[in-house]
Structure 1
Amino acid sequence: MHIGCPKEIKPQEFRVGLTPNAAREAVAHGHTVSVQTQAGAGAGFPDEDYIAAGAQITDTAEEIFASADMIVKVKEPQAVERKMLRENQILFTYLHLAPDPEQTKDLLASGCTAIAYETVTDAAGGLPLLAPMSEVAGKLAPQVGAWTLQKANGGRGVLMGGIPGVGPARVAVIGGGVVGTHAARVAAGMGADVTVLDRSLPRMRYLDDAFSGLFKTSFASAGNTAELVADADMVIGAVLIPGAAAPKLVTRAQLSDMKPGAAIVDVAIDQGGCFETSKATTHQDPIYEVDGIMHYCVANMPGAVARTSTIGLGNATMPFMLALADKGWRQACEDDPHLLNGLNVHAGHLTYYAVGKALGMDVMSPTLALKA
């Protein structure tokens, strides 16, 4: 199979879909690999590393899309990239279709087969291709939130760990999954007073046992959430419903109850955000203010630490990428139901239920798509 990796063109996105190690593995499996020139530069991988791995360097994205059987990326294809997709071509990347009807329509029109990293599952019920970036985003959230809290950025001017005689910042983390757990660990490590809100009692028991009181937990009822949000200096949104639009858990009206200059970090922004006032921003212009509350809503947070993120993502995606290349998407998905869960679009049909529900569109069962 011919595997192509174009340079990411989303603003301030420095990651790359294919590491030199992944390229080397694909070549060793007998596949052809084409990488657009400078695609890996932002993550510290020069063209020479790919050449040494046996890959071909291509000047333009157009050449990649025209020749490759499978396109491997990081972020969802931008409008200009979607026009280059074609029937029977495999697209393997993050998609986050639920809040993005335009992308969904373009992918359907292209006739391609699109497999989304964020909906591939594992035997434990986890999301193995989303988890590495969730870990990165979770660890980054308190860091960027602390920066947002600085007075020069419009924040309250509160130091996360406080000082003797002055209390620490209060941080509420909504969601106790991968993002929330890593966010809580880092925020607590910075000295903040941290509470994690979740609706799963077993998950809260696990957090209490595993972290021995490093941070507190609270049941995420509407009342508890409203109370903790109002009292917080920083609120981190870490809610995930796989493949679906994120629920809006904090309304605009609730901002008036928050402390002036408090910071919101919405890690769920890729799926539409879990705050009513959230809108996607970029690393170039990451924060904005609504009703005196500072919002940090960068849709590709892990891109800020591109090398760590690229290597972590590449480690997770490589086995699935090789399975798709070695067997073709049909056989690979038939052999692995967890990979089949990643199928979001095939030959003009939407194949992921949560996306169809979010967008009000018809959905074909992925098992039927295998036979189509």
Structure 2
Amino acid sequence: MLVGVPKEIKKQEARVGLTPAAAREYIARGHSVLVETGAGAGIGANDEAYIAVGAQIAATAADVFARAEMIVKVKEPQPQEWVQLREGQILFTYLHLAPDPDQARGLLDSGVTSVAYETVTEGNSLPLLAPMSEVAGRLSIEAAAIASRNFNGGNGLLMGGVPGVAPARVLILGGGVVGTQAARIAVGLGADVAILDRSLPRLRQLDDLFAGRARTLFSTIDSLESELSQADVVIGSVLIPGASAPKLVTRDMLGLMRPRSVIVDVAIDQGGCFETSHATTHEQPTYEVDGVIHYCVANMPGCVPTTSSHALNNATLPYGLALADGGLSAILQNPGLRAGLSTHKGKLTSEPVAEALGLSFSAPADVLAA
């Protein structure tokens, strides 16, 4: 199979779908790899690095989209990309379709077979979402610390405080991968950390993991409002796979928060879990609503593309190879890949996305069998 890697064109996105090391694995399996010139520049991988492992270099993205049987990307295709996709082609990337009806329609109109990293499963886990969730969770505390600085409009608190001065209070909504990694960094900096979640088994795991260095609380409206009123930083990390994120914090609740406190909405790719969230960029990462600083960058791991690209490739490689080896039969035979199937020949095959967008749903097994 000819596997194509276009350069990412989303604003301030420097990650790459295949690193040279990953490209070498595809080539070793008998596949061909076509990389757009400069696609790996953001991670320090020049065209020569790809040529050295046997990849071909394309002068334009149009060449990659026209020739490749499978497109491997990082971020969701932009409008000028989805019009180049076609029926019979496989797209393997993050999609986050639930809050993005325009992209969903673009993919459906193209007829492409799209497999979304964020909904591929392995048992009860999301193995291709996990590495970027780890990166985003760790970055969320860095982002909050920078946004808290006085000259950025924040409250001027040092995350860990100093002897005689209390540390910042950090509230984390959701104890999954993002929340756990955010808590690791916040605890390591010496912050006062609380984690809210509705899974008692998960709260028990977190309590054991942090051994009393982070408070674990069952999430109710009361506990949420109580913690919001005391928090200096709130990290939103709630996920419903494939679906729009629930709006846990309403605009009215912002009135409970301290002036110049900071919200970091890591769930913004799925629409955000704060009512007042809207996507921002690394160039202009924050805005203010009712005296509360909002950080809602939609591609947080993009600011550390080298780490992010290698971590992502480590996770996606076996699934990408399976797709290249088996095509549609790999999706049909592999339940994890089948869970990631989002569109096929103009049919929407992700039930959470269909519910979020009010569109009809077709079962993956049915459309593939047809």
Residue in structure 2 matched with residue 132 of structure 1 by the alignment: 131
Residue in structure 2 matched with residue 93 of structure 1 by the alignment: 93
Shift of 1:334: 2.4
How big is each residue's C-alpha offset from its partner over 1:50-103, in whole Å with a ceiling of 9 and x where there is no partner? Answer: 111100011110000000000000000000001111111100000000000000
Q: Is the 8 A contact 1:141 1:267 kept in 2?
A: yes
4+ aligned runs moved over 3 Å, structure 1: none
Residue in structure 2 matched with residue 46 of structure 1 by the alignment: 46
Aligned letter for 2:357? L
Residue in structure 2 matched with residue 27 of structure 1 by the alignment: 27
Residue in structure 2 matched with residue 186 of structure 1 by the alignment: 185
How big is each residue's C-alpha offset from its partner over 1:132-188, in whole Å with a ceiling of 9 and x where there is no partner? Answer: 000000011001100000010011111101111110000000000000000011011
Instruction: Please give the residue correspondences for 1:143-292 in structure 2 after superposition, counting only pairs within 5 Å.
Output: 143-292=142-291
Residue in structure 2 matched with residue 62 of structure 1 by the alignment: 62
Shift of 1:335: 2.3
Secondary structure class of the residue paired with 2:229: helix
- Whole-angstrom CA distance in 2 between matches of 1:240 and 1:44: 32
Shift of 1:46: 1.2
Q: Is the 8 A contact 1:172 1:229 kept in 2?
A: yes
Residue 300 of structure 2 corresponds to residue 296 of structure 1 = no
Residue in structure 1 matched with residue 369 of structure 2 by the alignment: 371
Residue in structure 1 matched with residue 305 of structure 2 by the alignment: 306
- Whole-angstrom CA distance in 2 between matches of 1:207 and 1:270: 25
- Whole-angstrom CA distance in 1 between matches of 2:164 and 2:110: 61
Residue in structure 2 matched with residue 332 of structure 1 by the alignment: 330
- Whole-angstrom CA distance in 2 between matches of 1:167 and 1:30: 59
Residue 5 of structure 2 corresponds to residue 5 of structure 1 = yes
Aligned letter for 1:99? P
- Whole-angstrom CA distance in 2 between matches of 1:73 and 1:230: 41
How big is each residue's C-alpha offset from its partner over 1:306-330, in whole Å with a ceiling of 9 and x where there is no partner? Answer: 00000000010011111111111x2
Secondary structure class of the residue paired with 2:217: strand
Aligned letter for 1:138? G
Aligned letter for 1:169? A
- Whole-angstrom CA distance in 2 between matches of 1:18 and 1:183: 27
Secondary structure class of the residue paired with 1:289: strand
Q: Is the 8 A contact 1:7 1:38 kept in 2?
A: yes
Identical counterparts, % of pairs: 61
- Whole-angstrom CA distance in 1 between matches of 2:199 and 2:73: 34
Aligned letter for 1:213? G
Residue in structure 1 matched with residue 321 of structure 2 by the alignment: 322
Secondary structure class of the residue paired with 1:341: helix
Residue 352 of structure 2 corresponds to residue 354 of structure 1 = yes
- Whole-angstrom CA distance in 2 between matches of 1:45 and 1:266: 31
- Whole-angstrom CA distance in 1 between matches of 2:5 and 2:201: 41
Aligned letter for 1:212? A
Q: Is the 8 A contact 1:185 1:214 kept in 2?
A: no
RMSD, matched Cα? 0.6
Shift of 1:227: 1.2
Residue in structure 2 matched with residue 343 of structure 1 by the alignment: 341
- Whole-angstrom CA distance in 2 between matches of 1:263 and 1:46: 38
Return 5+ residue gaps in structure 1 as ranges.
Answer: none
Aligned letter for 1:34? L
Shift of 1:47: 1.0
How big is each residue's C-alpha offset from its partner over 1:243-282, in whole Å with a ceiling of 9 and x where there is no partner? Answer: 0000000011111111010000000000000000000001
Aligned letter for 2:27? V
Shift of 1:223: 1.1
Secondary structure class of the residue paired with 2:193: strand
Q: If the length of structure 1 is used for normalisation, what is the TM-score?
A: 0.99
Secondary structure class of the residue paired with 1:92: strand
- Whole-angstrom CA distance in 2 between matches of 1:351 and 1:230: 42
- Whole-angstrom CA distance in 1 between matches of 2:288 and 2:355: 31
Aligned letter for 1:344? S
